[in-house]
Amino acid sequence: MRILQILPELDVGGVETGTVDMAKYLIRLGHQAVVVSAGGVLVKELESLGAKHYTLPVNKKSFFNIRALIPQVERIIKNENIDVVHARSRVPAWIGFFATRRANRPFITTCHGYYSRHFFSRAMGWGKLIICPSEVIAHHMVENFGVPHERIRLIPRGVDIERFQFIPPDKKISTVFNVGIIGRLTPIKGHTYFLKAMAKVVRSFNRPKIKIWIVGDASNSNREYKEELRVMVRRLGIEHCTEFLGTQRDIPTVLSHLNLLVCPSITHEAFGRVLVEAGASGVPVVATYVGGIRDIVEHEKNGLLVAPCDPESLAQAIIRLVKDVNLATQLAQNAYKKTKEEFNVNLMVSRTLDVYKEAASNFKILVIKLSSLGDAILSTAAIRELRKKFPAPNYKIKVLAGKDSKDVFRNCPYIDGYTTYDYKDRDGGIKGLFKVAKELRRENFNGVIDFQNNRRSHLLSWLSMIPNRFGYDNRKLSFLLNYRVKDSGQPMDPVTHQFKVLNMLGVTIEDPYLEMWPSRQDEKAIADFLEKQWLKKDETLIGINLGASLRWRTKVWPQEHLIELCVTLAKKGFRVLFTGTEADLEKAETLAQSMKEARPIIACGKTTVNELACLIRRCSIFISGDSAPLHVAVAVGTPFIALFGPTDPKRHIAPFKKGIILQKNLDCGPCYKPKCKTGECMQQIRPGEVIAKIEELLKA
């Protein structure tokens, strides 16, 4: 694999050292490592390992700087043929996120800090996967930045134990006892509380002689804090035994001379790498009970923990370890064991490599199909063929469905889940659109296939920040898609129409037939329903769908024709089943009155869509206009007679095996008008024709 790591600088520090360690082990394992930073003292070491370094000002928090660097990093990604981009700080995360979107590469982040809930910090949660070095940081990213738990990967930072020499405390006994603090000179590291505690410790001993080491330096913006610490040292009367050692590159050597390490942080630490390094060196630790420190130090087992901002408790813990060499030795040995087992660099690299492979191989696809029940059923063939092309587990497919059509996908074996967009009610308006887009952004999809192809769905695809967006170039905000296919304008069945989009992903039609997936519970519910209707096993059941959507009254067959058909079917000894919505109940009851002795079965508004599939499957013939139940019949393989009027069957019916389409070729049709004064196109389909086609299908 070719991995690009981006971080602000390559000066001495935990993040920087971890980056170099990661590059070293990647190269050792046969991978290639590229690093982008603003430079620093570790660049030469990095390049000596065989890694490649690009120097860019990725440490500057300027909008114009970030914007200018995005295309530069994109070029590096493409030129180096990078597989995964790994950002380790906020400015690099902003740059890396947009550069990977443009270069179409996976992007991951590592959260090395307990970030404030500032908008600028949100980029750390935009990775396809987010590495957290401690449980505290993982909870912080989930609770305060809305990162889904399933995108979090917990990987503690590791140290190269080979670089450190384990010397237990009982082997370091001398006349000088060195107590040190290692870290940036910044208030959150708790230096002031450390110095106050050390003033108490120094006054408690004459022998052994106590020495205080302050390792680390202040940034340019924190120079005043460094002077404040020097003034505090003089005021506390410990100037004679305190040394400010500044930045030290050779931390293993520093630790080999320390008798005790103190980590008095006053706020959440992301991890605490120096504590692990101390464990590898045999240096006992006293630390505060905050943040990721709790994942490393277990009180009284491999270190001592005290409350933050409490110099008295800190002093007592230090004094205890100065006096009790046996306790210090026991804690150090336990810390060394835990470091080897949980915090070694080999384990960190192995787990991180797994994340790289997961990010590079797992591809999440969103399919948008928001409209009616019938349209959802018409998408089932496309979803099946999509799964064949992109098999689990490396590819995940999720459907965004409308409220009225979601149940179609409830038991679909070709998807990994579905979610609902109730744009007519709960998620209505612009506010609802942005809310759903935010939820989709959290899932970090790689691609979206827009089968809805309207303004709402195109806008939603774009707002969801999904990098690969596929759909039709239809002037309905389709410029927001980056992969578009033009509609030929020729009549085309809905399955072929969808596959024109899928062709852009290399998906071809092998099996164009629809499917539905009712459960055993659905089948049992229909069996119980028909048993209560006294349906005999030898009875021929003819299903008739009575309605269409409320908008399309022109699709409905005239009631007088229905009555004539039902009476004729009853005389021939057929059992009739009426399907439809609750709005069709009145019509069903009127028809039932015309054929009382035939005992028609009324199921209008009494079934779910999956129960309806089981019911239609039990029919010998199913009769319907252009509506969802017709598509159900096609999906379950029931022979059907389709009555088409104002719409074109070439555009609206999927490929089928058993069925007959009845439509009159009038000069005015297909008109696609939901209202018509005469309804001539449906009026001219006579009951006698339908009876003849029923008999034809039954003979077949």
**Which CATH number is associated with domain 162-343?**
3.40.50.2000
Give residue for tokens 């030290």.
248
pLDDT at 22: 92
Burial class (CB in 10 A: 0-12, 13-18, 19+), 594: middle
Helices (H), 545-664: 559-571, 585-594, 609-617, 628-636, 649-652
Contact indicator for 586, 614 with CB cutoff of 8 Å:
no
**Which CATH number is associated with domain 362-505?**
3.40.50.2000
In 3D space, the residue among 524, 521, 565 whose CA is nearest the CA of residue 542 turns out to be 565
Contact indicator for 9, 16 with CB cutoff of 8 Å:
yes
Give residue for tokens 């290639």.
32
CA 593 to each of CA 585, 589, 598, 613: distance values in angstroms, whole numbers, following the listed order: 12, 6, 10, 26
Sequence letter at residue 396: K
Sequence letter at residue 454: N
Alpha carbons within 13 A on the beta-carbon side of 423: 19
- The pTM of the full predicted model, rounded to 2 decimals, is 0.78
pLDDT at 14: 78
- If one counts every other C-beta atom within 10 angstroms of the C-beta of residue 443, the result is 17
CA 488 to each of CA 96, 132, 225, 492, 652: distance values in angstroms, whole numbers, following the listed order: 39, 50, 70, 9, 16
- If one counts every other C-beta atom within 10 angstroms of the C-beta of residue 283, the result is 31
By percentage, how much of the chain surpasses pLDDT 70?
Answer: 99
In 3D space, the residue among 256, 386, 282, 388 whose CA is nearest the CA of residue 334 turns out to be 282
Both tokens of 439, joined, read: 């939820």
Residues of the chain with pLDDT under 50: none
Looking at the chain, the number of H-run helices and the number of E-run strands are 26, 25
pLDDT at 129: 95
pLDDT at 17: 85
Contact indicator for 382, 451 with CB cutoff of 8 Å:
yes
Tell me the C-alpha distance between 426 and 415, whole Å. 25
Question: Would you list the DSSP string of 3-46?
Answer: EEEE-S--SSSHHHHHHHHHHHHHHHTT-EEEEEES--TTHHHH
- Can you list the positions of beta strands (E) in 155-223? 176-182, 209-215
Contact indicator for 622, 631 with CB cutoff of 8 Å:
no
CATH topology of domain 520-699: Rossmann fold (3.40.50)
The packing angle between helices 609-617 and 628-636, to 10°, is 60
Spatial CB neighbours of 101, under 8 Å, sequence gap ≥ 6: 107, 465, 467
Sequence letter at residue 126: W
Tell me the C-alpha distance between 367 and 365, whole Å. 7
pLDDT at 284: 96
pLDDT at 279: 94
CA 428 to each of CA 451, 549, 658: distance values in angstroms, whole numbers, following the listed order: 20, 21, 40
Q: 660 φ, ψ to 5°?
A: -135, 135
105: helix, strand or coil: coil
- Report the DSSP beta bridge partners of residue 660: 641
Q: 293 φ, ψ to 5°?
A: -55, -35
Contact indicator for 225, 186 with CB cutoff of 8 Å:
yes
Spatial CB neighbours of 475, under 8 Å, sequence gap ≥ 6: none
Q: How many residues does the chain have?
A: 700
Sequence letter at residue 671: C
Burial class (CB in 10 A: 0-12, 13-18, 19+), 118: exposed
Q: 227 φ, ψ to 5°?
A: -65, -35
Both tokens of 685, joined, read: 């389909």
Both tokens of 165, joined, read: 């020499």
> So where are the chain's domains?
2-154, 162-343, 362-505, 520-699
Both tokens of 233, joined, read: 């040292």
CA 473 to each of CA 449, 460, 470, 484, 503: distance values in angstroms, whole numbers, following the listed order: 13, 16, 9, 5, 14
- What are the tens digits of pLDDT across the range 329-375? 999 999 999 999 989 888 999 999 999 999 998 899 999 999 889 99
CATH class for the region spanning 2-154: alpha beta
Sequence letter at residue 583: A
pLDDT at 208: 64
Same fold, 162-343 and 520-699: yes
Each residue of 73-94: b (16+ CB within 10 Å) or e? bbebbeeeebbbbbbbbbbbbb
Spatial CB neighbours of 631, under 8 Å, sequence gap ≥ 6: 374, 377, 378, 514, 653, 654
Sequence letter at residue 366: L
Upstream peptide bond of 208 is cis (omega within 30 degrees of 0): yes
- What are the tens digits of pLDDT across the range 514-566? 999 999 999 999 999 999 988 888 889 999 999 877 778 888 888 889 989 99
Both tokens of 389, joined, read: 């092309």
In sign, the C-alpha dihedral spanning 661, 662, 667, 668 is: negative
Both tokens of 531, joined, read: 């048993």
